[in-house]
Structure 1
Amino acid sequence: MEAMGVPTTIQAAKAALRKDMKAILKSLSPESKAEQSKIVTQRVLNHAHYVNARNLAIYLSMNDEINTQSLLKDALSSGKKCFVPRYFADGRAMDMVELMDLDDYDRLPLTRWNIKQPHEQDTHRPDALKSGLDLILVPGLAFTASGQRLGRGKGYYDTYLQKCKSILSPGPQTLALAFQEQIVDHIPTHDHDQSLDAVIAPNL
């Protein structure tokens, strides 16, 4: 019985941390989010993983995440192949499909989360798992300096990162982008939770 209770304990700890982190993120001012996004963007642009990447996956940011628009523009203008998430509403599936240019980005429909993503029925876009990936920029709710991550609870990125490891050799590097307030000392984890190679925050 004790072993069966462990996952429940971890789930409860994760739920509590998610609740706390959502309140913290909600309290951040637009000015703070913009300034921190600017600092993190510059650090990513100077990071060797980004500089050396030819194929990268980049999340299209929500209001409570480090803004990735400047990174997207830089990547596309510098000739990198950019892949963006496409979430499937009927489960935990997510793929990464190619974004051709900024006009393509502007035409993307909005999801119920008010973020842009390619339509589920758009089957003609190259898939990152077939094209190859050098780098994935990863969002989340909380991170440790060592690379542990707390997502939003759907398992999209954990599942996708595991799939990358099984299909791509070598697997892509992973960089988390975070506000300073998202850095915590400890995150409760399950065996299937994926650690990241590095976390980039203003003071980390």
Structure 2
Amino acid sequence: MESGAALLGPGPGNMAALQAAKKALRLEMKRRLAALSEAEKLRQSAAVSRRLVAHPKYQNCQRIAVFLSMTDEIQTEDIIKDVFQCGKECFIPRYKSRSNHMDMLKLSSAEEIHRLPLTSWNIRQPAEDGSLGEALTSGGLDLILMPGLGFDKHGNRLGRGKGYYDTYLERCLQHSKGSKPYTIALAFKEQICDQVPVTETDRPIDEVLYEAP
């Protein structure tokens, strides 16, 4: 774990303090995001997208997982279009709402997104009919783009509390015998914190990409 992380041990007192700290930080992040105008979110999304497509890890990857954005996240539609224009393979999440299980399923085109069903979170994801190929059973991933509510400069990430990405990264490690895809979080600059509280099960990400102040 990177130095500077707010790492707390497994004791019940520490876990209660950790959950309280995460809850408070989630509320603060949601407050910051709610204060952003739609125009500002689109402006920062465009700036982050430009940084990503110029990034060597993106340029050199072939198989990439991209999240489909909620309204308070960096918008990824232009990134997905670029993935297909560059001839890369694109995978998107399918979450199971009653567990922390997530698969990354292959898209055939950027236009296919608009034909996918909407979830209760008002984002689109593949139906559970098994018609799309899963990344880990068809060659793995080179790069995963990560969403989240808050991030710090040590690579610590505050998710929404379900553990989907931490669990998926663990599956990546098991599937590839210890190696994992490179991970880049996409963030608004307002989502950058001094410190995100974490435990030993929270997996740090390799890099956070945002518009520098």
TM-score range, shorter chain: over 0.9
Q: Report sequence identity in percent.
A: 48
Q: 1:162 aligns with which of 160, 170, 181?
A: 170
- Counterpart check, 1:185 vs 2:194: yes
Q: Aligned ranges for residues 100-179 of structure 1 at < 5 Å?
A: 100-120=108-128, 122-131=129-138, 132-169=140-177, 170-179=179-188
Q: If the length of structure 1 is used for normalisation, what is the TM-score? A: 0.96
8 A Cα contact 1:55 1:83, kept in partner: yes
Matched pairs, number: 202
| Alpha-carbon distance, 1:161 to partner | 1.0
Where 2:193 maps in the other structure, the secondary structure is coil
Where 1:24 maps in the other structure, the secondary structure is helix
8 A Cα contact 1:98 1:128, kept in partner: yes
Q: 1:197 aligns with which of 184, 201, 206?
A: 206
Letter aligned with residue 128 of structure 1: A
In structure 2, distance between residues paired with 1:65 and 1:183: 13
Larger mean CA deviation between 97-106 and 80-89 belongs to 97-106
In structure 2, distance between residues paired with 1:105 and 1:28: 26
8 A Cα contact 1:146 1:199, kept in partner: no
In structure 2, distance between residues paired with 1:76 and 1:91: 31
Q: Name 2:4's counterpart in structure 1.
A: none
In structure 2, distance between residues paired with 1:177 and 1:104: 23
| Alpha-carbon distance, 1:10 to partner | 0.4
Q: Aligned ranges for residues 23-172 of structure 1 at < 5 Å?
A: 23-120=31-128, 122-131=129-138, 132-169=140-177, 170-172=179-181
Higher helix share: 1
| Alpha-carbon distance, 1:106 to partner | 1.8
In structure 2, distance between residues paired with 1:168 and 1:104: 29
4+ runs of 1 displaced by more than 2 Å?
none
Greater RCO, 1 or 2 (C-alpha within 8 Å, sep 6+) = 2
| Alpha-carbon distance, 1:125 to partner | 1.1
In structure 2, distance between residues paired with 1:36 and 1:103: 23
| Alpha-carbon distance, 1:25 to partner | 0.4
In structure 2, distance between residues paired with 1:194 and 1:3: 19
| Alpha-carbon distance, 1:146 to partner | 2.0
| Alpha-carbon distance, 1:145 to partner | 1.4
Q: Deviations over 1:36-90 (max 9, x none)?
A: 0010000000011110110000000010000000000000121111000000122
